[in-house]
């Protein structure tokens, strides 16, 4: 979705900024995604048929069609079987991905000061390989959410809420994020790659799994399938 005003802003300021997003804030889209909780890591790998993408019924439009028609997802490929075409959707570019996920991170969390501190502090902590700092940052953020917000906001009751917000904060920084990648050793929940280092994250619901289960699962399966001469693996 091209807006000629974005090009004018770029030439006027002589710097790269998310002009595309700023000139068309997706308040309606955020409202819809809040009302129908979506696992945010899955937004970048949606599948849809032509009929689904061409639907225009605003009251019943699918998430895939809405994101496609508003320009937040675009065509990344097409598969065909028995005459049926299936389209592979993904973000148009890094600018769109980071801007949308940053907006969702803000929209899916209450207006507390800790929320604004998460994003700018993550990169320095990652560069410094400060694991304790990252843990304290995210633990403090979740602990800062008032109990009343959970009770009055249905999105917080969504099973994938915590992992989605966690992913959104990292992905909104433009980092190299790998989610639910499979290998012969199993499937990882999330990996972040920055400056020749890889951090592995595993999400578990404490009520369903004993404390420490996530780390023990990673250690049991081993990290050899992610180890590379190109980066060091760090377990979180």
Three state DSSP letters for 134-196: HHHHHHHHHHCCCHHHHHHCHHHHCCCHHHHHHHHHHHCCCCEEEECCEECCEECCEEEEECC
Confidence of residue 2 (pLDDT cuts 50, 70, 90): very low
Name the pairing type of β-strands 232-235 and 197-201. Answer: parallel
Phi first, then psi: give them for residue 29, nearest 5 degrees. Answer: -65, -45
Determine which of 64-73, 122-131, 142-151, 160-169 has the lowest per-residue pLDDT on average. 142-151
Contact at 8 Å (CB) between 177 and 170?
Answer: yes
Predicted confidence at residue 57, as pLDDT, reads: 73
Contact criterion met (CB below 8 Å) for 163 and 128: no
pLDDT value, residue 125: 92
- pLDDT score of 211: 60
Instruction: Provide the whole-model pTM.
Output: 0.72
Q: Taking 70 as the threshold, does the pLDDT of residue 29 lie above it?
A: yes
Confirm if 80 and 34 have CB atoms less than 8 A apart.
no
Cβ count near 124 (within 10 Å): 10
Cα torsion through 176, 218, 134, 115, rounded to 10: 70
Of the ranges 85-99, 155-169, 201-215, which one carries the lowest mean pLDDT score? 201-215
C-alpha–C-alpha distance, residues 229 and 211, integer Å:
32
Summarised one tens digit per residue, pLDDT across range 173-194 is 888 888 876 554 456 788 898 8
Question: What does the pLDDT look like over 70-79, one tens digit per residue?
Answer: 888 998 988 8
Q: How far apart are CA 152 and CA 218, in angstroms?
A: 35
Per-residue pLDDT at 15:
55
């Amino acid at each position: 979705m091209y807006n000629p005003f974005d090009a004018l802003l770029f030439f006027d300021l002589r710097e790269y900024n998310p002009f595309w997003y700023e000139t068309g804030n997706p308040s309606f889209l955020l409202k819809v995604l809040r009302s129908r909780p979506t696992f945010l890591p899955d937004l970048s790998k949606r599948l849809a048929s032509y009929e689904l993408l061409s639907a225009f019924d605003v009251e019943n439009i699918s998430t895939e069609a809405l994101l496609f028609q508003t320009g937040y997802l675009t065509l990344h490929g097409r598969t065909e079987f028995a005459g049926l075409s299936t389209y592979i959707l993904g973000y148009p570019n890094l600018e769109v991905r980071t801007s949308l996920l940053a907006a969702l991170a803000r929209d899916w969390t209450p207006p507390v000061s800790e929320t604004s501190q998460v994003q700018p502090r993550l990169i320095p902590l990652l560069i410094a390989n400060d694991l304790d700092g990252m843990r304290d940052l995210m633990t403090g953020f979740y602990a800062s959410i008032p109990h009343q917000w959970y009770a009055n906001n249905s999105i917080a009751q969504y099973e994938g809420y915590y992992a989605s917000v966690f992913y959104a904060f990292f992905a909104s920084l433009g980092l190299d994020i790998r989610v639910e990648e499979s290998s012969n050793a199993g499937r990882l929940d999330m990996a972040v790659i920055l400056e020749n280092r890889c951090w592995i994250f595993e999400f578990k619901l404490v009520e369903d799994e004993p404390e420490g289960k996530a780390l023990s699962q990673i250690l049991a399966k081993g990290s050899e399938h992610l180890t590379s001469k190109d980066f060091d693996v760090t377990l979180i």
